[in-house]
Amino acid sequence: MVQPMPMKLANTPVEQITVNGHGFYLKRDDLLHRDFSGNKARKFYALLQRDLSATSKLIGYGSAQANSLHSLAVLARLKSVPLDFYVDHIPSFLRQNPAGNYRSALDNGTQVIAVDKAARQQLPMADYLRTRVLPDAPEALFIPEGGSDQAAGTGIGLLAEEIIGWAGELGLTDLKVALPSGTGTTALFLQKHFCQRALPFEVLTCACVGDEAYLRLQFTALSADQAFHPRILPTHKKYHFGRPVRAFYHVWQQLQQQTGVTFELLYDPLGWITLLDYVQGLGAGAVPILYIHQGGLLGNETMLPRYRRKWPDCGIN
């Protein structure tokens, strides 16, 4: 169950790993907190610090298996505020066997509410919530999907400061910081923070949800200044977000074998595929690279069984 406050949400360790013969630093943001790990904990940091005593409930939305569902559920419980989390649908196997992020949400008292497209009269979920749900929910606080808004900048700024402090201790004057993107919020606020601190650190990312054009739009929505936009490493192949991909499982397993670290299965495989591609082209004496492990391991609880069902022969156990 949830650990009591105050939470120590800072100063995660950095390790050195070797992947396919290339050396990397690894920021273990997955070790931030047992119930509140990685990416979403950084993004919801400001919300966690905020006084919600006058808030009647939190209203969020996304996938029934989303990492943000688990993190928001824990946050809502810690703050003693109810959470209504809207989803398009709850897969029947998940409804029958709650696991991972979905089970955590139920355990923490979240109401997971399915409203499919027909019931929304074809409205996108965000529009449906804004026009049909929020007007009847006074004092409710709306959380954009994946925690993608300006408030995320506070916690991500702290992550950037940890990286700057660590690099200073090692005497690193230049650095590449790599992390896979969903909404691009984390990557963008990291790059923005490094620029504002006048550091040459470059953020490398890849588009896991949608294509590069979608990710660029997301960056622009958060900051019109192109100088703050991270570099998007090319993906070469089109993947449907959230679907099991054999090559993803293969990389995930290789990473586990070579580093002893368990990564997550939605974002990290593409993050590593694009990053390993990128380092292939680099010569000796290249700028050191820090990969950020953004947590999300609870999601593996539902992803691994999906791989097993799809490829019973692929050695997943």
Ligand X SMILES: *Cc1c(COP(=O)(O)O)cnc(C)c1O
Among 101, 108, 185, 302, binds ligand X (CB under 6 A): 185
Q: Considering only CA atoms, which of 142, 229, 133 is closest in space to residue 181?
A: 229
Among 61, 166, 267, 272, binds ligand X (CB under 6 A): 267
| 230 touches ligand X by CB under 6 A | no
CB of 77 closer than 8 Å to CB of 109: yes
> Concatenated DSSP letters for 148-190?
-STTHHHHHHHHHHHHHHHHHHHT-S--EEE--BSSSHHHHHH
- Of 57-65, 77-85, 114-122, 180-188, the window that binds ligand X (rule: CB under 6 A) is 180-188
Euclidean distance between CA atoms 83 and 101, whole angstroms: 14
Kindly state the smallest distance separating residue 31's Cβ from ligand X, in Å. 13
Structure tokens at 311: 């490829």
- Interface with ligand X (CB under 6 A), residue total 18
| 60 touches ligand X by CB under 6 A | no
Kindly state the smallest distance separating residue 264's Cβ from ligand X, in Å. 5
What H or E segment, with its residue span, contains residue 112? strand 111-114
| 12 touches ligand X by CB under 6 A | no
Residue 137 or 259 having the CB closest to ligand X: 259
| 98 touches ligand X by CB under 6 A | no
**Burial (CB count <10 Å: 0-12, 13-18, 19+), residue 277:** middle
| 269 touches ligand X by CB under 6 A | no
| 100 touches ligand X by CB under 6 A | no
Distance of alpha carbon 89 from the chain centroid:
21
Euclidean distance between CA atoms 101 and 103, whole angstroms: 6
| 29 touches ligand X by CB under 6 A | no
| 186 touches ligand X by CB under 6 A | yes
- Of 94-102, 105-113, 178-186, 238-246, the window that binds ligand X (rule: CB under 6 A) is 178-186
- Beta bridge partners, 60, equal 85
CB of 94 closer than 8 Å to CB of 302: yes
- Of 7-15, 132-140, 170-178, 182-190, the window that binds ligand X (rule: CB under 6 A) is 182-190
Kindly state the smallest distance separating residue 41's Cβ from ligand X, in Å. 10
Coil, strand, or helix at residue 43? helix
Kindly state the smallest distance separating residue 268's Cβ from ligand X, in Å. 7
- Of 113-121, 122-130, 175-183, 306-314, the window that binds ligand X (rule: CB under 6 A) is 175-183
Structure tokens at 213: 């054009």
**Residue numbers at the binding site for ligand X (CB under 6 A):** 38-40, 67, 146, 180-187, 264, 267, 294-296
